[in-house]
């Protein structure tokens, strides 16, 4: 059964590790908020060299965005399956999430390579630097997420399987993964569409 738990024995009423995870995500908002703000300072200004709008491919990035968005669905289904103690489904959805994340990363690597070939490089101008730092840090977060998902999947292969309590918690990895998704929701609009 799906449920949220209250922890009356904790002074805050919330599991301390879970609260810590949300505080961490809150600091991550500030981290990405700073990077987005820096990117926006230089967006729309004229700099020497090729422009981002000359090199990007909206249909391609749209498909990548859709893939990452759907990985949030598979992630929440993995969490739901674990709450129902269905180990097999949990492993399947975890692996699906990791695969979707890996496809998104492959797309980003392909996109960066294309940009470089077209002359939009890290050192082209200060705007290109802010673009690569912003999207690159997001990519790094996706990579860490994929590693965590594969680690969870690997733990799930063991005889005891995964549990919602103790050890490497699926709920926290899920929170991290959804966070990576919401950051991309903002980046897709701010960097590519506006």
CB nearer to another protein: pick between 152 and 174: 174
Distance of CA 108 to the CA centre of its chain: 13
Contact 25, 179 (CB under 8 A): yes
d(CA 176, CA 179): 5
Distance of CA 107 to the CA centre of its chain: 14
Considering only residues 51, 55, 57, 83, which one is a binding residue for another protein as defined by CB under 8 A? 83
Check residue 62 for interaction with another protein (CB under 8 A): yes
User: Could you count the other beta carbons within 10 Å of the beta carbon of residue 95?
Assistant: 17
CB nearer to another protein: pick between 16 and 113: 16
Considering only residues 75, 105, 142, 148, which one is a binding residue for another protein as defined by CB under 8 A? 75
d(CA 101, CA 64): 9
Interface with another protein by CB under 8 A: which residues? Answer: 1-9, 12-14, 18-19, 22-23, 25-30, 32-34, 36-37, 40-41, 45, 58, 62, 65-66, 69-70, 72-73, 75-77, 80, 83, 174-175, 178-179, 181-182, 185-186, 188-190, 193-194
């Amino acid at each position: 059964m799906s449920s949220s738990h209250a922890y009356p024995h904790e002074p805050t009423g919330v599991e301390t590790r879970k609260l810590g995870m949300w505080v961490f995500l809150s600091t991550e908002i500030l981290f990405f908020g700073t990077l987005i703000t820096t990117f926006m300072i230089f967006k729309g200004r004229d700099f020497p060299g090729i422009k981002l709008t000359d090199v990007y491919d909206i249909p391609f990035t749209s498909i990548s965005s859709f893939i990452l968005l759907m990985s949030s669905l598979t992630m929440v289904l993995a969490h739901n399956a674990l709450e129902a103690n269905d180990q097999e489904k949990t492993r399947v959805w975890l692996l699906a999430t990791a695969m979707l994340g890996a496809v998104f990363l492959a797309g980003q690597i392909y996109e960066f390579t294309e940009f470089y070939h077209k002359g939009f490089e890290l050192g082209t101008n200060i705007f290109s630097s802010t673009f690569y730092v912003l999207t690159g840090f997001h990519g790094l977060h996706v990579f860490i997420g994929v590693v965590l998902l594969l680690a969870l999947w690997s733990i799930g292969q063991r005889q005891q399987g995964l549990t919602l309590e103790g050890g490497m918690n699926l709920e926290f990895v899920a929170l991290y993964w959804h966070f990576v998704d919401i950051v991309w929701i903002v980046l897709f609009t701010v960097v590519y569409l506006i």
